[in-house]
Structure 1
Amino acid sequence: MSLLITAFGAFDCGWNCSERLLDALEDEREALAALWGGPVAFVRFAVDTEAVAGRLRAALAAHRPTHLLLMGQAAGRAGLLFERIARNDRDLRAPDACGRCGALGPVDPAGPETRVATWPDLAGAVARLASEGLPVALSDDAGRHLCNQTLYLALGVEGLNAVFLHLPLLPEQAAEGLPAAQGGRPTLPLDDMRRAVRALLLHSRRSAAASAAES
C-alpha cells in the first residue's frame, strides 16, 4: 500500500495547524513508512479554491497512492473529526488565499450531490483512536470550504481510498493570538495529533492484512 498525506498552508490570517502537523510527520517519514508497510509521501496545498483541483491531480499522478489522508484546520472543533461525507458545493465563509469568498457554486457541475469517504473500516479506526484516549469522532459535515472541496474531488478518483481529517487548533495558535483562535476556541497538542495519525495507519494496515488473509 502507498500513502499520500496532505495539508493546507496559511489560512484565516495565520499559519495552519495541518501544515504544522504535516511538517512533524514528514520528520518521521521512515518510521511512518515502516508502520504503514509501504511508501509515504507528503504534499502541501495552498488554500486556493481555483487551483486546488489541478494540484491534487498533479499530486496523485506523481505519487500514485492507494490511500489518501487529507488534513485541514477546523477552528472551533474540540476534537479530531474524520469526515464521511463530501458535498458538491463551495460556500467560503472565510476567504481563500486569493480573497475569494461567498457562494462559489459546485465543486463539479457534472458531479453528484454527495460522495462518501472510501477509507476502509473508518468506524473501526475511530474506535481504535478513542480507545487510546484521543478526542475523536466521525462527522457528516465537512463544511463548504476547501476541506470539503478536496475530499469531494478525491472521492471522484476511482479506486482511491480517501478520507479527510479535520484538526482542532494547536495551543501555539491560541498562545500567539491568531485570528482563528479568538474567543477561547479549543485546542489539541501536536503530539496528540501525531499519535492519532500513527494509530490510524497502524489500524488500517492491520485491517488490510486481516482482509487479505480472509480472502
Structure 2
Amino acid sequence: MKILVTGFDAFGGEAINPALESVKLLPDTISGAEVKWVAIPTVFHKSADVLEKSIEEFHPDAVLCVGQAGGRFGLTPERVAINQDDARIADNEGNQPIDQPIRKDGPSAYFSTLPIKAMTKAIQEAGLPSSVSNTAGTFVCNHLMYQVLYLADKKFSFVKHAGFMHIPFMTEQVLDKPNTPSMNLEDMGKGVKAAIEAIVEYFDRADLKTIGGETH
C-alpha cells in the first residue's frame, strides 16, 4: 500500500506552516505502508496541479492532505468539502476568489472517504486532542480537499481513499497571540502518524460507528 501525504507552505503572514513541518517528520513506512510527503503551495488551483502531478507519479492507494487551522485545539479530520471558493484573504499569489465554484462539472460537495472517526480515535489514543470537523472552510484547504476527492472520483480510480485533516498552530506561532491554542511540532507529527495508522488499519473496513457530530 502507498499513501501520499501533503502539507501546505506558510501563508497569511506566518513564517512557517505546521502542516508541512509535521509531514516532514513522517517515517517512510507506517504500518507496512509506503509513505511519501509533498509540499503544496497555498494557492488556489496551483495546489491541485501539484497534487495531481504527485498522484500521477506516486500512484497512491490513499491521499491525506494536511493544513493549518489556527485557533483549533486539536487535530481535526474533515468530513466534507464544498464546491465553493470564497477567500477571506488572498492566497500566496494574490488570488482571492469570491463565490466561485471549484469544479463547474463537480457535485456541490464531496464527503471524505478516509476513516475519519477511526483517525480521531487513534489520535486520541496517542494522547492528543482530536475531533471530527464538519467544515473545512472556504479557503485553499477546502479547495484542495475538494480537488483530491474530485480527482479520485473522476480520474484516479486507484485512489481508494482521500481526504483532509487540519492541525493547530505550532507553539512558536502563538508567542504574539495571547490565549490562542497551539501544539508542539513533535506531538502534531505523532498525531498525523496515528491518523495514517488508522487509514491503513481501516483501508478495507468500514469506519467506526461512533458519535462525531455537533449541535452547532
Q: Which residue of 2 aligns with 1:3?
A: 3
Amino acid at match of 1:64: H
Task: Work out whether 1:189 is the aligned partner of 2:190.
Answer: no
Note the C-alpha offset of 1:145.
0.6
1:98 counterpart (77, 93, 117): 93
Question: What letter matches 2:162 in structure 1?
Answer: A
Q: CA shift at 1:64, angstroms?
A: 0.8
Partner of 2:129: 135
Whole-angstrom distance in 2 between the partners of 1:22 and 1:38: 15
Asked whether the 8 Å contact 2:126–2:190 carries over to 1, the reply is no
Name the counterpart of 2:173: 173
Q: Which residue of 2 aligns with 1:205?
A: 200
* Structure-2 separation of matches of 1:124 and 1:54: 29
Aligned residues between the structures: 199
Provide the residue aligned with 2:143 in structure 1.
Answer: 149
Q: TM-score, normalised by structure 2?
A: 0.85
Structure 2 unpaired stretches of 5+? 207-216
Distance 1:201 1:170 in 2: 20
| CA gap 1:52/1:191 in 2 versus in 1, 3 angstroms | same
Secondary structure in 1 matching 2:165: strand
Do the aligned partners of residues 149 and 210 (structure 1) sit closer, same or farther apart at CA in structure 2, a change above 3 Å counting? closer
- Compared CA separation, residues 202 and 50, structure 1 to 2 (3 A): closer
Inter-CA distance 183–99: structure 2 relative to 1 (3 Å threshold): farther
Structure 1 or 2: more helix by fraction: 1
Mark the CA change 1:209 to 1:47 in structure 2 (over 3 Å): closer, same or farther. closer
1:206, distance to aligned residue in structure 2 (A):
2.9
Structure 1, unmatched stretches of 5+, are none
2:199, 2:23 → 1: CA distance? Answer: 19
Q: Is 2:22–2:192's contact at 8 Å kept on the other side of the alignment? A: no
RMSD between aligned residues:
1.8
Tell me, in whole angstroms, the C-alpha distance in 2 between the residues paired with 1:64 and 1:21: 22
SS at 2:44 equivalent: coil
Deviation track 1:15-49 (CA, whole Å, cap 9, x = no partner) reads 21111112222xx32xxx1x331321111111111
Asked if the contact 2:22/2:189 (under 8 Å) is kept, the reply is yes
Q: 1:204 offset after TM fit, Å?
A: 2.9
Q: Counterparts of 1:75-90 in structure 2 under 5 Å?
A: 75-90=70-85
**Structure 2 counterpart of 1:18:** 19
Cα 1:209–1:103 shift into 2, 3 Å: closer
Which range moves more in the overlay, 134-143 or 96-105?
96-105
Name the CA distance, whole Å, in 1 between partners of 2:64 and 2:123: 15
Separation in 2 of the partners of 1:199 and 1:24?
13
Would the alpha carbon gap of residues 54 and 186 (structure 1) be closer, same or farther in structure 2, given more than 3 Å must change?
same
Secondary structure of 2:22's aligned partner: helix
The one-letter code of the counterpart of 2:117 is A
Matched AA of 1:149 = H
1:37 aligns to 2:32 (yes or no): yes
Q: Secondary structure at the match of 1:125?
A: helix
Residues 209 and 93 of structure 1: CA distance in aligned 2, closer, same or farther (over 3 Å): closer
SS of the residue corresponding to residue 133 of structure 1 reads coil
**Matches of 1:208 and 1:83, distance apart in 2:** 17
Instruction: Note the C-alpha offset of 1:209.
Output: 7.0
- Which residue number corresponds to residue 65 of structure 1? 60
Q: Name the structure 1 match of 2:162.
A: 162
1:125 shift after superposition: 2.4
Structure 1, 199-208 or 148-157: larger mean CA deviation: 199-208
Letter in 2 for 1:67: A
Partners in 2 of 1:152 and 1:55 — Cα distance?
14
